[in-house]
Amino acid sequence: MSKTVSSCLCETNQVPNQPQENVFFHTLYRTQADFPNEFLRTARSTSPIQICALFSVIGPDNLGAVLNLELNKELTTIVAASSNRPVLDFESFSNQVINVLNLKVCNFVISKGGTPLKVSMTMLVIEGDTLRVISVGNTKAVLIRDNRIMSLTEEQTVAHRYVQMGAITAEQEKNHPESMNLTQYLGKLPQDGPVLADKQVHLKLKDNDELCLMGLGLSKSLPAQMRNMILVRPTSTEVKVRELINSAYQYGIMSGLTVIITKVESTFLLPGDAYFAGAQVPVQSNPYVNPMDETKPYAGEVDDNYDSQGDTTVVNTGDYKAYKDSNEDSEAMDGKKKNNEKLWNILYPIIFFLGFTILGFGLMFVAFNITDLIDFSKETKETDEQAQSVMYVVSDNTPLFASDSVESTVLSNLMRGESLIIVSQDDTFSNVITTNNITGYVLTAQISTEDPTINETLPIVESEVTPVATESQDSDVPPVSDSTTVESTSETVQQTTTTAATTTTESTSEETTEETTSTTELEETTIESSPTTVSEPD
């Protein structure tokens, strides 16, 4: 159960052919006798179900004013029947309100000769500490909480649909020609389809929350900055409604001057504090309140997130779980906060100790393992890349060109198996560096990543070593004995063999053949010139 104080003010339009408005204020509404004067009421209530609504009729002035009275009578009957129930079935109640009132408007239009009338309605239903909103058309409801203003409704117009589609901006919507063309309204005939009311708002109320229903003059014509600065002021509901209407007059607005402000004083009441008669007793307020001086800026504290140009949050399309759990019993909340404070007082030292311990261990680990943490694989990778860039010549006498053209100068002829370092490579030419540090270009087809000379053996030159004899001695050499001749011949053959072997290793095959022939001749000469032993005479 919530304890509320509400104030409403409804002024008669001073401009013809503008929407006619009326209020449903705790079963009170403006009657025909109240039209010449303003309708100003303030009431307090702790009823289990509290309902306020605002009607706005687009159509001829006389018909619109009469239709508002008929709708309020019908709504009074519905609310009276619902107030006797212990628990409000909101879905059933909202469907009943929409269907009955829509039928009432359609029958009224038919009875008046078919003059089209479109009715907008926004209704606030407070059940205990729970708020629900029913909205059809373009009347507006907002919630004031903690110096922030949050929209509870969205306009159901063609222009607002363009905003939702991204075709126009919110600023362009105000002056758009379709801003008053309703897509949903009371008075839809069956062939026009069902009335789709917006019933998404379902949130928990908090102490000092304020709810505001406003007519089209305040919601569309009064600047949002001026309106919102009045709504967030820490003044009574009675003063706020008066200041809103006075500001609208000063701004030149002469129609749509209807406003209801309900303040939730408490959402937790003991059974002895509740009373029900206060909702039915209107309290006449001070008929005049000094108008706000617009030259003096509002000095109250406003939240940094407060948008003075418009509503900060659209509540009716969001997630309301946070609101459902936000308003718990105050004593339980205080006890929970104290327990949380004690718990955090214990946890803070533990968290700091563990944090600094882990930080110190991490620093020590880095300090002692800095060499292991440095990546030394860069040099290995570079070496691998260089190793992969070495290729080999496939065939002998491969030309090394000065540029990537076969008509360029040939720098050198490369031999098969010669290694090259690849600088760059394409399908035709490769830029290479030879083992002699000569940079040039070779045909890509004439080099390979594999060495073609691997597993190949060099040819072995085999030749028969023939001993070479020494040259013959002169005829003047004195004769020697047989033993001396044999020794000399042996030494000569040994020396000739050594010379022939050396000559065979260093010379070509032709020289070897000649050496062999020469050696043979020397042997024959040696044999022929062997000394003859001459016996001495007796």
Per residue in 134-159, pLDDT (tens digit) is 999 999 999 999 999 999 999 999 99
| 219 DSSP assignment | I
Question: Is the pLDDT assigned to residue 119 strictly greater than 90?
Answer: yes
With a cut of 50, say whether residue 44 has pLDDT above it. Answer: yes
pLDDT band at 297 (very low <50, low <70, confident <90, very high): very low
Question: Mean pLDDT across the chain, nearest whole number?
Answer: 76
- pLDDT score, position 8: 95
Q: What is the pLDDT of residue 333?
A: 63
- Domain range 377-448, CATH class: mainly beta
pLDDT value at 285 more than 50: no
- pLDDT higher than 60, residue 286: no
Read off the pLDDT of each residue in 6-26 and give the average, rounded to a whole number: 93
| Residue tagged 């105000």 (tokens) | 174
Q: What's the pLDDT at 478?
A: 47
Query: What's domain 3-322's superfamily in CATH?
Result: PPM-type phosphatase domain (3.60.40.10)
Whether 95 has a pLDDT exceeding 80, the answer reads yes
**CA-angle at 95, arms to 263 and 3, nearest 5°:** 20
Query: Residue 123 pairs with which residues in a beta bridge?
Result: 53, 134
pLDDT for res 436: 82
The Cα 498–Cα 465 span in angstroms is: 9
Structure-token pair, residue 532: 């003859």
- Rounded-to-integer distance, Cα 522 and Cα 470, Å: 7
pLDDT of residue 376: 53
Q: What's the average model confidence in pLDDT over 433-446? A: 86
Q: Give the pLDDT of residue 457.
A: 61
pLDDT exceeds 80 at position 320: no
Q: Would you say residue 213 has pLDDT above 60?
A: yes
pLDDT for 375: 59
Give me the mean pLDDT over the 388-393 stretch.
79
Q: Is the pLDDT of residue 313 over 50?
A: no
- Backbone dihedral angles phi then psi of residue 128, each to the nearest 5 degrees: 65, -115
How much is the pTM?
0.55
Model confidence band, residue 98 (pLDDT cutoffs 50, 70, 90): very high
- Of 422, 400, 398, nearest to 409 by C-alpha is 400
Q: How confident is the model at residue 514 (pLDDT cuts 50, 70, 90)?
A: very low
Strand partners, 118: 58
CB neighbours of 157 closer than 8 A, spacing ≥ 6?
138, 178, 179, 180, 181, 182, 183
Q: Where are the alpha helices (DSSP H) in 232-318?
A: 237-250
CA 256, CA 20: separation in Å to the nearest integer? Answer: 7
pLDDT score at 201: 87
Q: What Cα–Cα distance (Å) separates residue 403 from each residue in 411, 415, 434, 448, 449?
A: 10, 19, 15, 20, 22
Report pLDDT for 56. Answer: 96
pLDDT > 70? residue 441? yes
Mean pLDDT of 471-498: 43
The whole-angstrom separation of Cα 491 and Cα 497 is 10
Could you tell me the residue ranges of all domains in the chain?
A: 3-322, 328-374, 377-448, 462-530
More confident residue, 244 or 463: 244
pLDDT tops 70 at residue 112: yes
Query: Average of pLDDT values for 350-370?
Result: 87
Q: What share of the chain has pLDDT > 90, as a percent?
A: 43
Mean pLDDT of 270-286: 42
* Block residue for tokens 């010669």: 418
- Residue 378: predicted pLDDT: 52
DSSP 443: E
Residue 522 has pLDDT above 90, yes or no: no
- The dihedral built from the CA positions of residue 99, 189, 104 and 56, taken in this order, carries a sign that is positive
Q: Residue 300 has which token pair?
A: 């109250």
* Listed range (52-61, 323-332, 353-362, 493-502) with the worst mean pLDDT: 493-502
Cα→Cα distances 35→12, 40, 241, 289, Å: 6, 12, 18, 21
At which residue do the structure tokens 């004995």 appear? 481
Give, in order, the Cα–Cα distances in Å from 399 to each of 413, 415, 440, 444.
5, 9, 10, 12
HSE at residue 115, side-chain half, CA atoms within 13 A, is: 13
Chain segment 155-184, per-residue pLDDT in tens: 999 999 999 999 999 889 988 999 999 999
Reading the block at residue 19, the tokens are 């929407």
Residue with the bigger pLDDT between 516 and 91: it is 91
Range with top average pLDDT, 42-56, 306-320, 390-404, 443-457: 42-56
Q: Is the fold of 3-322 the same as that of 377-448?
A: no
**Pairing between β-strand 398-401 and β-strand 258-266 as defined by DSSP bridges:** unpaired
pLDDT > 90? residue 208? yes
Given a contact cutoff of 8 angstroms between Cβ atoms, the answer to whether 433 and 421 are in contact is yes
Separation CA 149–CA 315 (nearest Å) = 10
CA separation for the pair 423, 368 (Å, rounded)? 41
Q: What gap in Å lies between CA 101 and CA 99, rounded to an integer?
A: 6
Whole-number percent of the chain with pLDDT over 70: 69
8 A C-beta contact, residue 152 and residue 201: yes
- Residue 104 to residue 394: CA distance in whole angstroms: 102
Nearest to 76 by CA among 127, 23, 27, 31: 27
Higher pLDDT, 364 or 289: 364
The CA–CA distances, whole Å, from 275 to 147, 269, 272 equal: 29, 10, 8
